[in-house]
Structure 1
Amino acid sequence: APLQAIAAACVSGAVGLGIGYSLKLRSAGCDNNALVPSMLITGTPSRPASDFLITGAPTLPANLPTAVAALQWAGWPGFDNIKFRQGYVTSFNRQTRNPNWVCEHLCEETLRGEGSRAKTENFQEDETDPPHLRSRLADYKGSGFDRGHLVAAADVKFSQNALDETFLLSNISPQVGAGFNRGYWERMERWCRNLVKKGEFSDVFVISGPLFLPKKEADGNYYMQHQVLGNPPSLQVPTHFFKVIMALPTRSAQASLTPAAAPTKTDPNASALVPLGRTPAKPIALGAFVVPNEVIDDKDDLSKYSYPIEIVERLAGLQFFQRLPRQNTKFIKPLCESTKCVLPAGFQLQDGKDKQPKVITVK
């Protein structure tokens, strides 16, 4: 069934609390380090978190990942079991044993460095969750599913430690292998990196996560039907995955922004971000995509899987970058109108190792 129809049949779940929650923590005598001190990883890329050419963004401790700055500024999806890693932020769901969402920041600094998959110790269980509530290596054994990254290892090459942390199972979901994790999903990951590498945007923030969507049966009703892995069964296999992308224009084209004091008509419960006295030279690009966890034809255009961000919010029960004034077309532009939503050609991985892949020609 079309995703719009499914979304209309679903009840929206948990809602992100936005910037007010974080500021409330600070006013109560807490800082961001107090959220999950045992999970906090020190060290970030050489570029400070505050260096976004955006006024009004809260000052953050230097030892938080730079993705936090975007969440502070544009809005958090939620606050369930937050884990701060060196290169990303994740919210882990102990019921589904999948992330609720992960947020990463792609820029020149994060995409270059000495980090290598060849040096990593491979996948690891996340010991910050209790043993009976975490995703386990044994859950995947013999399942036929790949351990699919939500933040790709290649996205955080600036540090070997940051790259190693992408192999924690709290950043992993069960994915169909050939044709998806080793196919369309990997191409989407490279396309996101290329938004920065090709100089179209200076800072790209990506929120990715799993979806568990119902299927319409012959009786006209919707039913939840998805596989569960493990013994006892606990690791749920997503039916779909989403990526929500906020791409900031090159630094020379960015406008100065500040939070508005009054609520807006389009979002009465949250402040919006508006240009400070002028129109930005180039709009911020915003896009949302939902893909099924199955083999996807290489010929499928990415635009086929593009949806209004409100649809993805309803499906996920989350809000994404909700403080952005989405109705302001001078400030926000659809991503597929700002750049070509055309994926790079597929790779043929060799034995799953970090070798130079062979390019498959997509006709």
Structure 2
Amino acid sequence: MRAVVMYGAGDVRVEERPAPRIRRPTDAIVRVVLSSVCGSDLWPYATMPATGQGKPMGHEFLGVVEEVGSRAAGLKAGDLVVTPFSFSDNTCDFCRKDLHTSCRSGGLYGLDGIDGGQGEVVRVPLAGGTLVKLPVGEDSPLLPSLLTLSDVLTTGYHGAVTAHIAPGDSVTVIGDGAVGLCAVIAAERLGAERIVLMGRHASRTDLGLAFGATDVVTERGEEAVARIRELTGGDGTDKVIEAVGSRQALETALDVVTDGGVVSRLGVPRYEEGPVGRAIVLRNITLTGGASPARAYIERLMPDILDGKIEPGRVFDRTTSLDEVPDGYRAMSVREALKILVRL
């Protein structure tokens, strides 16, 4: 089968790989229908040391079950399914606490001999606990939106949930990437009254306004802080979702949140130390967030997509074939594309 493999920074290839097979009775083999390139895939694309082995890429996909192991409960060949970006048994103590990313038996696609999601076929471990069946067909126009349940929508929603957004809240979302835009969807869904989106790309911030943002702030740094303080009568917003991962974004988040407010971090940090000392304690700011337990949210969010209440699939602004994925990485890395949808 063909799959996307990264051999180093900027070195993404589509190559033939061994076809996956059932190795454990809890496995399932899934033929991929849709996949995508995640913003987190761009970090190794920019920094990964060269390697002769290569790393299978991708963790967002949906597809059709082709084969199931004897203990892949609840699944059968022909089921159309979506996967969260990590696999889990959905039964351990962490999973029962909606911490599927900490599953005692779980793991990540593309590591330790597990296929990546940017390929024709994937072996899914712990398939009965991981895969969620979709009540639509392969030709449904809802598939791009349903694919966002794999990561980007559930991650944006995790930011809103951990920030404890409630009706009437004011919220700042830092970052106009796909996760930030999905955080806008989530904040609006949870009843936020004012949603300030920080971003500099008009096509993206326009989409954010369509998703429910009430204000757009294009400034950065101290100018951004001043602008948001101006919009909120000097206090800042009740909640902040940081969807970038830079230290500057964290500093901005802490500067624009009101005293007693909450900052939720979604961006994978590119820093080891941050401004979380005495001043933050004195202001009673809560710092939260982290990796989304996507499996916990899929069935919670799916009805809104099926009913047409939300359209997160609009974050995909370019569709490619599998052979075109390397150029898709390039396009996303230079901001020519927001998020790549891969049709197989």
Q: TM-score range by the shorter chain?
A: under 0.3
Give the TM-score, by structure 1 length. Answer: 0.23
Which of the two has greater helix per residue? 2
